[in-house]
Amino acid sequence: MIRGTNRELLILTSVVWLSVEQLKQIEQKRQEALRRLAARNDPAPIGESWNKHIGTELTKPYFTKFDYLFCFGIEVKVVILGQDPYPRQRQAHGLCFSVLRPSPPPPSLENIFTELAIDIKDFTHPGHGDLTGWAKQGVLLLNSVLTVRRGEPTSHQGQGWEEFTDAVVQSLSRNLKGLVFLLWGSYAQKKGRFINRGDFVDRGYYSLETFTYLLALKAKWPDRITLLRGNHESRQITQVYGFYDECQTKYGNANAWRYCTKVFDMLTVAALIDEQILCVHGGLSPDIKTLDQIRTIERNQEIPHKGAFCDLVWSDPEDVDTWAISPRGAGWLFGAKVTNEFVHINNLKLICRAHQLVHEGYKFMFDEKLVTVWSAPNYCYRCGNIASIMVFKDVNTREPKLFRAVPDAERVIPPRTTTPYFL
């Protein structure tokens, strides 16, 4: 028989049914709650958990001229970086893109909700723009520039905020594992160079090895291998999506990256198999009607932001009538009519391209006049997709060869040591 008050009896009875592991979890959560409570009551401007990331920034001359107020430190899981223009009165309350009720969600947040609805099957619009709940769950909502005049998102650029937010992004990326970054808008995307992408999504470990290995194969069998240029074989893109950082990490400088980008400029833009199968990275262009027009493109240059060269590496096939603006911000969406006309005019059997993730490894479209071949298995080490290569015995006989990724247990991360090849 257990003696005691009702409250004591309830506690003792509950403990009887808890395992040792459950008791440990309860104590762990209790300690975490106490730390969060202490951070809330911290009289200092920021909690202790933030000091390790940005403490040194607070004493620098550029920062001392700002009046600032921070919330307590949190365990950040996601960083959403952007620049909210705050077009209406009293919208700003310290969280990027967030507005307190009853203010309606700003256009920038509505765009984010639209993208979430596309990517997440069961996503439901919350009906308001208050993202306080996100922040409490570890989403850091950070403006690239922390102050603006109403409706003028660039009005306070160059005042010192950039140095601060760059330091925040860089430190979080370096010190927190499994962190996800969402860079919303072109200005925020420039901050990608501060993100250690190897730790971010486990991709990019072998980019340099893969490219140099392909170059070695090309050197050994120059008549058997053709390397086509894609949209990522450019200086701008590689500075954002990890290749530049990978070269810096492995060699301590950017020399390897510079040499590779010079090779990028010499890569082939398109190739023909038996004069009837066109191979290109992206797709078609409204500026190109014939194959001869592709042959006249000056390829020894950085990929331009628009025009025929840009379209060949950026465009995508889609269920549209003719042409439509691409959501990528470069290239075009093109449909069956455009594809059939191009194939007919140039006496082609097939257009073979890449550029888009296909979970099955390959996908035929437009009455099999076009095929997308995706050769990166388990993309970003998390998509779980199959990959493929396409084998052509002749122009009428094609056979996809499917393959999967190396299991995680067998994948080896290269050591981060300096090798003198590019010093």
Task: List active site positions.
Answer: 84
Helix 255-264 vs helix 207-220: angle between axes, to the nearest 10 degrees? 50
Task: Give CA–CA dist 13/261, Å, rounded.
Answer: 68
Chain centroid to Cα 262, Å, comes to: 24
Q: Which residue type occupies 152?
A: E
Q: Which residue type occupies 294?
A: I
Task: Give CA–CA dist 164/199, Å, rounded.
Answer: 22
Q: Please give the backbone phi and psi of residue 30, each rounded to the nearest 5 degrees, phi first.
A: -65, -45
First to last CA, the chain: 78
Strand partners, 353: 372
**Token reading at 349:** 């059997």
**Token reading at 256:** 């390897």
Q: Which residues contact 353 (CB under 8 A, 6 or more apart)?
A: 279, 280, 281, 282, 283, 317, 370, 371, 372, 373
Which regions of 259-395 does DSSP assign to beta strands (E)? 270-273, 277-280, 316-317, 323-325, 332-334, 350-353, 362-365, 370-373, 387-394
Structural contact between residues 400 and 388, judged by C-beta atoms closer than 8 angstroms = yes
Q: Which residue type occupies 137?
A: Q
Overall size of the chain counted in residues: 423
Helix (H, G, I), strand (E, B) or coil at 173: helix
Unique residue bearing structure tokens 């390829």: 299
